[in-house]
Amino acid sequence: MDSPDRTDSLDSRIDTPDAPSGGITVRRALELPGLRGGLPEILAGTDRLDRTVRWVHAGEVPHIASLLKGGELLLTTGYGLGIRPADQRAFVRTLAERGIAALVVELGPRFTRLPAALVETARAAGLPLVQLHREVPFVAVTEEVHTEIVNGHYALLQRAEEVHRRCTEALLGGGGIPQVLGILADFSGNPVFLETADGQLLYAAGAGPANADPLQVWEGLRGRHKDDPPAGSALVDVPGGGPGTGSGGPGGPGTGSVRARLVLLPVNAPLAPVHRIAAERAAGILAVVLMQARQEEELAARGRGDFLTDLAEGRIAAEDAPAQARVLGFKPGRSPLLPVVMRLTGEASWGSPRPEAGGGPAHGGGWAVLARAVAEELASVGVPVLLGVRPVEGRVPLLLGLRSETDRAAVADRVAAALRAGVERAGMQRPGAQPPVVVVGVAGGWAAAPAGLRHAAETATAAQGLSDRPWYDARRLDTDLLLWRLRDHPDLAAFVDRAIGPLRDHDNRAKPPLLPTLETYLAHAGRKAETARELHLNRQTLYNRLARIGELLGTDLDDPQTVLALSLALRARRLVP
């Protein structure tokens, strides 16, 4: 048995969080060889043996409780318990109030059996009380328990490190922030959110109770209570590179430059310390991503673009869309919704903006600048707007809230002008490149929005190469969309060659070219006077050209079937080699 004056010499604190995965249980401590060799007998608190032991303390003074902080396994030979029952009861009560894990008393010269007052008070307070019938070296017990705690903490860190490794591999494999959040959500079993430093939602991952959408969880539990997060939440700051950055918790974020914040809400299961550690590891990865691209605005725009794309492709039900759109700041009320899609033409236009446009490393990538510029231009339109970006497709989808369906054309004019001005301001319109294509869908309610967005996106791709207009009505591009879907079919190229091949051959070797004359003639529905005015030709010259076209093609330009075939071939020629 050790000497009775060993109060602090054996106190070796292991700084692990106050949760089960940061220590070991009382039950496990009693199973270790050191305490098991003392023939432990549990006198009280048999239902509390799963309490967490954070570290071991050995002491023999009456005021030992004042030296403890909670979670300790207290070893003593009883010299500090007192002689009077009142002192013994007070001793146990103060330990229980401190929240220690268990009291272990070694029988010997001080006590051959523990006093009834001690046992009764421990039972009433729910404090595990253990007496050892044989002498044990407290140093050996302390070393064993602390070794278990350290091993447990190491295992916890290994689990968090595994999450960190998976997140890193996801990024190196071409994934982005959504993949990182998804890994963290799967690990914690709870939804995970990335928000800006001022609390605006950027991304959400995971599912709430009964597979509830995470955006609904955020709006209900976080969006409305940013200053008072639910108990047990984990808020981890994503540093922005300034001095003094750190991670915050429910009690308050760290100080310094904060670029974003990870939020874990315990809606499906309680959060353990390992989940917070994993979140801190993930925050470090996210900090690197955000610092490299300065992409908060792009992240938000991408998030809105993902929402609009998911809506268009049927991954979000129309009845759930209004609530999710409100979370993203779009509140059109009962207004008709107008789907619009802008597509940048040519892959060369999809990169970073020109340096003079403010798109260097310190100001964000091209899509962030574009989203900001377009949003500022659209502010003058005067209607609710939900704007997203889809960089992979070179696309900018939007939903607008109209005052009435009669406003469609006027709003489309202003939106198309704002979109093109935003592209110019962002420096994403390369010299010589075709201007972006803007396609306006059909106005309707939320039920019609998915099909409207999908149709506008498809026709925006099909419209590339058409004569430039401020915007196209998606309903008038169905023929072009059909031809675009057939663009890789060999029959389309054969059809174009049969219909207008002789004219292409003529234009390659002789002047004046005849294809523009035919195209203008068909665009004016065969009205020769209007065709001549647009081409700046006198009538006889036009008649001669039309006669030459009919001769080369061997067709009658007044025949309706011939006109239809030639119109289709002229539309399809930009799609075939």
Q: Average of pLDDT values for 478-482? A: 87
Residue 457, pLDDT above cutoff 70 = yes
406 band by pLDDT with thresholds 50, 70 and 90? confident
Residues 446 and 307 in one domain: yes
Is 164 within a domain? no
Q: What is the pLDDT of residue 276?
A: 87
Q: What is the pLDDT of residue 247?
A: 37
Residues 450 and 549 in one domain: no
- Domain membership of residue 265 as a residue range: 176-293
Residues 536 and 571 in one domain: yes
Q: Which of 247, 276, 293 is the last residue of a domain?
A: 293
Instruction: Output the domain CATH number for residue 117.
Output: 3.40.1390.20
Residues 278 and 307 in one domain: no
Q: What is the pLDDT of residue 207?
A: 84
106 band by pLDDT with thresholds 50, 70 and 90? very high
Residues 30 and 133 in one domain: yes
- H-run or E-run covering 371: helix 366-378
Q: What is the pLDDT of residues 58-99, one digit of tens each?
A: 988 888 888 888 888 999 998 888 889 999 999 999 999 999
179 band by pLDDT with thresholds 50, 70 and 90? confident
Q: How many domains does the chain have?
A: 4
On whether the CB atoms of residues 343 and 331 are closer than 8 A, the answer is: no
Is 307 within a domain? yes
Instruction: Output the domain CATH number for residue 411.
Output: 3.30.70
Q: Which residue has the tokens 């968090």?
A: 160
Is 542 within a domain? yes
Q: Which of 293, 328, 351 is the last residue of a domain?
A: 293
Is 125 within a domain? yes
Instruction: Output the domain CATH number for residue 540.
Output: 1.10.10.2840
Residue 353, pLDDT above cutoff 60 = no
Higher pLDDT among residues 289 and 52, named by residue = 52
Q: Residue 113, by phi and psi: left (phi above 0), alpha (psi -120 to 50) or beta?
A: beta
Count Cβ atoms below 10 Å from residue 291 Cβ, excluding itself: 15
On whether the CB atoms of residues 238 and 287 are closer than 8 A, the answer is: yes
Residue 345, pLDDT above cutoff 90 = no
Q: What is the pLDDT of residues 2-38, one digit of tens each?
A: 433 333 322 333 333 333 445 688 998 999 998 999 9
Q: What is the pLDDT of residue 10?
A: 29
Q: What is the pLDDT of residue 484?
A: 84
In order, the DSSP letters of 30-72 are HHSHHHHTT-EEEEE-GGGTT-EE-EEEE---TTGGGG--SSE
Is 9 within a domain? no
Residues 448 and 311 in one domain: yes
Q: Which of 248, 263, 293 is the last residue of a domain?
A: 293
Neighbouring residues of 193: CB distance < 8 A, sequence distance ≥ 6? 181, 201, 203, 204, 205, 214, 218, 222, 262, 263, 264, 265
Give the distance from CA 225 to its chain's centroid: 20
On whether the CB atoms of residues 91 and 74 are closer than 8 A, the answer is: no
Residues 330 and 445 in one domain: yes
As a residue count, the chain comes to 577
Residue 236, pLDDT above cutoff 70 = yes
Distance (Å, rounded) from C-alpha 287 to C-alpha 240? 6
Is 130 within a domain? yes
Residues 218 and 304 in one domain: no
Q: What is the pLDDT of residue 217?
A: 81
Structure tokens at 299: 């992240």
Angstrom distances, CA of residue 544 to CA of 441, 502, 533: 41, 17, 15
Is 1 within a domain? no
Residues 289 and 202 in one domain: yes
Residue 284, pLDDT above cutoff 90 = no
Q: What is the pLDDT of residue 248?
A: 38
Residues 280 and 350 in one domain: no
Greatest mean pLDDT range, 14-28, 341-355, 417-431, 531-545: 531-545
Is 167 within a domain? no
Residues 274 and 192 in one domain: yes
Strand ranges across the sheet with 102-106: 40-44, 129-132, 102-106, 72-76, 55-58
Residues 306 and 455 in one domain: yes
Residue 366, pLDDT above cutoff 50 = yes
